Amino acid sequence: MSITLNSPLDMHLHLRDEEMLSVVGPLSSESFSGAIIMPNLVPPITTKEALISYKERILKACKGNTFTPYMTLFFKPTYSKEFLASIKDELTAIKLYPAGITTNSQGGVSGFDVDELRPTLDAMSELEIPLCIHGETNGFVMDREAEFVSIYEMLATNFPKLKIIMEHITTKESVEALDKFDNLYATITLHHLLITLDDVAGGMLQPHLFCKPIAKRPEDREALRKVALEGHPKVMFGSDSAPHPQHAKESCGCAAGVFTAPIALQVLTELFMEHSSIDKLQSFISSNARNIYSNIEIPTKTVILEEKNFEVPGKYADVVPMFSGETLKYSIIKIT
């Protein structure tokens, strides 16, 4: 039996830059039609010139594959409506990071005072530019996302015309928030559909499964699976595929991020097949994103998978993928 996926989209992707970009860029652009590209480079993407330059570097790295990088800015509370209007044709969303909470987020938001954030968020609301948020406080690591739900609710209430994407949600509290506000949406990663904290640190520490937000409890994973496998219209696939060189993962001070780009579609197909929900996979990896990001143009691409063993390479250059060296049940056999 073959599985056909039309124009798959990754609505949360890290491509890094320079040599790392040249390695990981083609691994997404080969099988995905497009992806929301994270702006947390060093320095972060905050200007029109930097955004356009980064997009050009991405397209060059993708070596002619049919692929659209949907570009984002690193949130600043002082963006003017005039500036955002001038860049809107190149911009898909703006990404907000709490300061210091994850990789390269030192310049993020230190407080969530509505009056301080209002200039940018009002402009985004008027211009219909979505806001993507890494939703964690700086509290106890297992509670950070659940604590942030009240901030999502504050923003959703104060800016009802603003589309707010809760990025890479990991908790049942975030899932419950989806249906409380019309303007709240979410991305869900592959790894958070599969693992809990026990897989990361329950036995020998697994550094290549360490990520932020950290994997949570079994009941949280089940809440994520339920909305993904049932085709909930407000959730979409965002890999948060986050490459780091092997030495940065297998070291003291392990870098946060799971690299899933090369195996995402194969593993998602297996997961949805196992749960008799393969008819919902197209919505999760494309249709819902089309509806949520209603203004994006999506290249046509067809990806065909079959139940055929795929041996995951141990490394891609110096980046170790999830399921490194293991055998997956499904393979991509054709891309057109």
Pick from 244, 214, 239, 212: which is nearest to 228 by CA? Answer: 239
- Host domain of residue 187: 2-335
- d(CA 275, CA 261) in angstroms, rounded, equals 22
**Mean of the per-residue pLDDT values of the chain:** 97
pLDDT computed for residue 39 by the predictor: 97
pLDDT computed for residue 243 by the predictor: 98
pLDDT computed for residue 143 by the predictor: 97
pLDDT at 19 over 90: yes
Read off the pLDDT of residues 234-279 as tens digits, 9 standing for 90 and up.
999 999 999 999 999 999 999 999 999 999 999 999 999 999 999 9
329: helix, strand or coil: strand
DSSP state, residue 277: -
Percent of the chain with pLDDT over 90: 95
- Average pLDDT, integer, range 95-103: 90
pLDDT computed for residue 129 by the predictor: 98
Read off the pLDDT of residues 129-173 as tens digits, 9 standing for 90 and up.
999 999 999 999 999 999 999 999 999 999 999 999 999 999 999
Read off the pLDDT of residues 179-232 as tens digits, 9 standing for 90 and up.
999 999 999 999 999 999 999 999 999 999 999 999 999 999 999 999 999 999
Burial class (CB in 10 A: 0-12, 13-18, 19+), 315: middle
DSSP states along 53-120: HHHHHHHHHTTT-S-EEE-EEEP-TT--HHHHHHHGGG-SEEEE-BTTSSTT-TTSBS---HHHHHHH
Read off the pLDDT of residues 38-75 as tens digits, 9 standing for 90 and up.
999 999 999 999 999 999 999 999 999 999 999 999 99
Q: For residues 261 and 28, is the Cβ–Cβ distance under 8 A?
A: yes
Q: Per the structure, how many domains does the chain have?
A: 1
DSSP states along 184-241: EEEEE-HHHHH--HHHHHSSS--GGG--SSPP--HHHHHHHHHHHHTT-TTEEE---B
240 is catalytic: yes
- d(CA 84, CA 142) in angstroms, rounded, equals 35
Among residues 113, 240, 279, 318, the one annotated as catalytic is: 240
CATH of the domain at 136: 3.20.20.140
289: helix, strand or coil: helix
pLDDT at 302 over 90: yes
- d(CA 230, CA 215) in angstroms, rounded, equals 21
- Average pLDDT, integer, range 82-87: 98
Q: Which residue type, as a one-letter code, is found at position 294? A: S
pLDDT computed for residue 111 by the predictor: 83
